[in-house]
Amino acid sequence: MHQHDDIEWAESRSGKADHDLVALGIATAAIILFVGTGGTVMPQIVNSWMTHSYSSDILLSNAVLLNIALLIFGWRRYTDLHQEVHERRVAEQRAQALAERDPLTGCLNRRAGLPAIDRMLTRATESENEVAVMVLDLDNFKQINDLNGHKLGDRVLQAVAELLTSILPAGSIAIRMGGDEFACAISYAHHARARIENIADRLIEHIRMPIAHEGFEVEISTSLGIATTDEEDLEDAEMTAEVLIHRADIAMYQAKKRGRNGYFWFEPAMETELRFRNELEGAIRRGIALDEFVPYYEQQIDLRTGELVGFEMLARWNSPEYGLVNPDVFIPVAEENELISELSESLIRKALNDAKDWDPRLTLSVNISPVQMRNPLFAQQLLHLLVETGFPPSRFEIEITETSLHENLASVRTITTSLKNQGIKISLDDFGTGYASLAQLRNLPFDRLKIDRSFVAELTNDEKGAELVEAIVSLGQGLNLPITAEGIETAEALEALKSLGQFKGQGYLYGRPEDASTTKERLARTGLSKSVAGTETTGQAVAPRAADETAPIPPTIKGRLVG
């Protein structure tokens, strides 16, 4: 409570206490008076009532009756005031609980939780114990609310709170920080980290168990970060609840970055990295506003004929500060900070306008982020870009990853079906690295499978790699799905692929990705530019380039961000 509220509350309690004492004093005086006079007068009063005779002590009798009335009034007033004080005390306790507790989960809220951790830190210092703070964030919780409604989302939060209560040791603190983020604090003996790791493992394991509510059932995972006072290199730092939660939050972010459904201990280097990522996020926002992101194009070749059949658009960031930045650096940051949709829309618009000048037989494919596939309006937005630029849907192909299927299959089915109905081709990218099942391949409207570059790289070095590629080829043939191989970098890999069947391929063996102007010059030289291509022009074969003939790798982000 604030100081002003404390004063008002104290004054109110003092006033109630004064009224309480007055009522009690009246009742006490009435009792004493009644005891002093009632023993003598009461028999006379009763005798007078029974004989109907007039008594000379009638005034005294009236005084006794008045005394009885005062006694009853005083006692009744005292009991009423006592009940009122009790109800007020209960209401104050309830109000205090509401001010300190999250009403949905029963956990402490942030306002009350941080002081509770500070008190635990003080006690731990006195007893020479340590304190570990864990921050838990539920993975993909927003999708549960979006797909199943907030009732199921609320039930998930309640179930997590119940698990915290049941798994955490006695005396621990559980806090709902807000949304789907929880924090907890545990006091433990010096250098007994194994106990904390055991608790973290149990929390992760139990949270993964299915949660059912009103006919719905969901599975969810959590990413967990841990910070502790038991750090030799952190002894000089001032240990407060704010500091520990901040560090645990940074460690939790690392757990999400490394694949989620796990935990990480805080390390000082993580804070430096997070600070740098925050700077990078700001630079990306400025880059989007200043139109610094540009499309590059990687050739796609018919491996049987060597003919150029299309391009895949790849994002690059032409940053004045960092140089030419590869997408592996900025795409994850853009996805985490909900910048990917705006960034992707800008790049696709540029690519569609560029591709309008290509030979009409050349296709354009673009990668779509799993984040975009969660947006129910994505199909409409993409079709709007095609209409705006006048690019034919039949020449356009989107590539989605297996991660998209795992995260939100229903949304992917709706979006891909809508786009397929408009003539857009759908490819499953990085096939073999995720969770796609045969049923999903049969039920979703895919037009092509793309073999991940890691399998192509092992094609000539690893017998198992070759067997896996052969299995993917057989699966594609069985489902009547053409195949594109990514990452073709050697002549040996190219020959191995040719021996397995008919492929479309791409990779550095055919050249590095090029910007729009260089691509346009290439097409003009080969007669595949719309402005120079005649109706009888035949696409020219692209000769594979030896490794030492490839163009130099474009300059990438400097320092720590070399891509």
Catalytic residue annotation = 180
Q: How far is CA 273 from CA 150, 270, 323, 556, in A?
A: 35, 5, 20, 19
Q: Which two tokens stand for residue 443?
A: 């039920």
Angle between helices 268-289 and 340-355 (to 10 degrees): 40
Antiparallel, parallel or unpaired: β 448-451 and 425-431: parallel
Q: Return d(Cα 374, Cα 368) in angstroms, integer.
A: 11
Which two three-digit tokens encode residue 319?
Answer: 């940053």
User: Tokens 């009790």 — which residue?
Assistant: 86
Dihedral sign for Cα 260, 458, 401, 312, please.
positive
Contact 491, 460 (CB under 8 A): no
CA pseudo-torsion sign 375, 377, 380, 386: negative
- Amino acid residing at 131: V
Residue 360 is which amino acid? P
- State whether residue 414 is helix, strand or coil: helix
Structure tokens at 48: 């007078």
The tokens for 83 are 């009940």
With beta carbons less than 8 A apart as the criterion, state whether 48 and 55 touch.
yes
In the block, residue with structure tokens 């969770």: 435
For helices 268-289 and 327-336, angle between their N-to-C axes, nearest 10 degrees: 90
Which residues are paired to 211 by β-bridges? Answer: 218
- Token pair, residue 95, equals 């109000």
CA dist 344 and 553 (Å) reads 23
Three-class SS of 348-392: HHHHHHHHCCECCCCEEEEECCCCHHHCCCHHHHHHHHHHHHCCC
Q: Are 302 and 544 in contact (CB under 8 A)?
A: no
Pick from 198, 211, 219, 227: nearest CA to 136: 227
Cα separation, 208 vs 219, whole angstroms:
6
Distance CA 394, CA 351 (A): 15
> Which H or E run includes 457?
helix 453-457
Report the run of H or E that residue 251 belongs to, with start and end: helix 241-257
